[in-house]
């Protein structure tokens, strides 16, 4: 059996997100369309990148937002699964 930790990290501005984990889910809870490496994530949607058991990713992901529509909010969450032992 492997132990793991789950972290929730919130972002409200463009950012470079380090993965440093086994699995990462990108969740857009704002009203502005978010982009991870140019891939659009519309409001209420998510993208998950899973690893196999005991794998570890050191990828850095670029988070940006579509700011062309007035009144939209930038609210984004990265959920990471990291093995701890």
pLDDT tens digits along 26-60: 999 999 999 999 999 999 999 999 999 889 999 99
**Enclosing domain of residue 55:** 4-83
Looking at the structure of the chain, the number of domains it has is 1
CATH number reported for the structural domain that contains residue 68 in this entry = 2.60.120.10
pLDDT at 66: 97
| Distance from C-alpha of 52 to C-alpha of 56, rounded to nearest angstrom | 9
pLDDT at 70 over 90: yes
pLDDT at 80 over 90: yes
């Amino acid at each position: 059996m492997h132990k793991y930790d789950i972290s929730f990290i919130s972002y409200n501005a463009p950012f470079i997100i380090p993965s440093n984990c086994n699995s990462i889910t990108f969740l857009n809870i704002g009203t502005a369309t978010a982009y991870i490496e140019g891939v659009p994530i519309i409001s209420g949607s998510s993208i998950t990148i899973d690893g196999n058991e005991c794998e570890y990713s050191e990828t850095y992901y670029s988070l940006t937002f579509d700011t062309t529509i007035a009144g939209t909010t930038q609210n984004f969450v990265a959920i990471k699964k990291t093995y701890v032992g």
